[in-house]
Every structure is written in C-alpha cells, then in structure tokens.
Amino acid sequence: MGEKSGGRGGSGNVPKKSHVRNLHTKVKTARGRKLSSTLWLERQLNDPYVQRAKAEGYASRAAYKLSEIDARYSILAPGKRVIDLGAAPGGWCQVSVQKTGSTGDDIRVVGIDYLDMDPVPGATILKKDFLDDDAPEMLIEALGGNKPDLVISDMAAPTTGHRKTDHLRTMYLVEVALDFAIEVLKPGGHFLSKTFQGGTEAVLLNQLKRNFAAVHHVKPPASRAGSVELYLLAKGFHGKPG
C-alpha cells in the first residue's frame, strides 16, 4: 500500500557526497518500455536517498521520511507502541523498531499490508488488507491487547492517472486510518498519515483539530521536491470521545 522503508542507523539527513556516486547514470529506453518507466528508473539510480537506503539496509528510501519527521517532532521513543498501516516494503516498521526498542520477546511494532514483504526483526507483520472488517481487532491483538502510542500510515490508493480521482481515493484511506486511530490510540498519542497536496478537506481537518492538541502539514526533505505527497501529523490525542 505504501512506499516505505527502514533499517539500521542513519540520522535521516542527505548522505554526504563521499557516500554516493557523483556521475549521473543515464538509462536507455528499451524496446517496449514506456518513457515514464525509463525516467523513473533513471531517477531511482541517481537518488542519493535510494543509494543510502541500500547501503544502510533500509527497505526503501521512505525510511528517511519517518526518521526526518521524528527528528523534528519527536513522535517515536523507547518503549512506545506503534501500528503501521500499509507497511510494505517495511521501512517504517524498521525505523519504528529501532526507535522503540521492539524485540521478538516484547513486540511494540505491528504492521499490516496486503502486499508481500520481508520479515522485519522485532515487528509483527500481518499480511492482510487493512480495510477488512476484522483487521483492526487483529492489529490490537498482535500488539498484545495494548493501545498504541502512535498510528502511522503510508497508504496510498493505486493511481489511475486522473489526479482528482487519485486524491479522493487516497483521502478516503486517510479518513479510515484516522477513524481507526481515534478508536485505539492512547491519550497523548500521535497520528501520522500520507496525504496529497491539493487541499485537505475541511471536515477531516476539523476532526483532527477536535481530537488532537496540534495538527501539522509536513514535507520531509526525503520526500522528492516534485512529488505531490505531504504528511499530516496530529499530536497529543485528547482521548476517545465518550
């Protein structure tokens, strides 16, 4: 569901020049391959975050997005519990494990995705669609029946090429993730979700402001400048309404 990544070490800053290739790699358009695919591949090969993720054992460059958001807003800490929605390929789970100290004997990070992904040591991963009716209960059960301190979501709907449609479909996932967070978060907990630039619906913003002490729109440095993705961060959950 989401483009993510996580792993060992790393401050989340842009890698030093000594750690990346200085030569720009050009990719020839192969027969049958679309130009857009060629440009994507070329961008991946020349992206310093992609190169650093490979070097440091992260599942993808998206790990640095969570690391950078945490460095600025302090949403992860030792002993905290985290639920990761749309966890594939695993980077946000890796970063969460690293920051919380989650282990196989004391699981504090649970991820869910219908996509296949490699195991993340220290985390429990459910191969399941978060939109399934029984998914919320399974997530809490996997967390030992405990309420999470943080619900994070990098979910995004498969794109159709129609910008407004893609925006609406992804906003639906944000709304579902927020409803879940309001049901399960500990008081004082936080909610982080991917969204797209182009305006967050007033109803959603009002719901965030009613239930959390502070709401931020965040564009971490690891998010490509040309990307329309943005992150909504709501801090200080007031507690489930009575």
Helix (H) or strand (E) holding 213: strand 212-218
Q: What is the pLDDT of residue 57?
A: 57
Q: What is the pLDDT of residue 55?
A: 64
Residue stretches of the chain with pLDDT short of 70: 1-51, 53, 55-59, 198-200, 242
Q: Is 16 noted as a catalytic residue in this protein? A: no
Nearest to 12 by CA among 72, 83, 81: 72
Instruction: Look at residue 83 and give its three-state secondary structure.
Output: strand
Catalytic residue chosen out of the listed positions 4, 65, 80, 194: 194
Q: Which two tokens stand for residue 160?
A: 């159709």
Q: Is the dihedral of CA 80, 240, 193, 119 positive or negative?
A: positive
Q: What is the pLDDT of residue 184?
A: 97
Show me where the domains of the chain are located.
17-56, 63-237
Which pTM value belongs to this model?
0.79
Task: Identify the CATH class of 63-237.
Answer: alpha beta
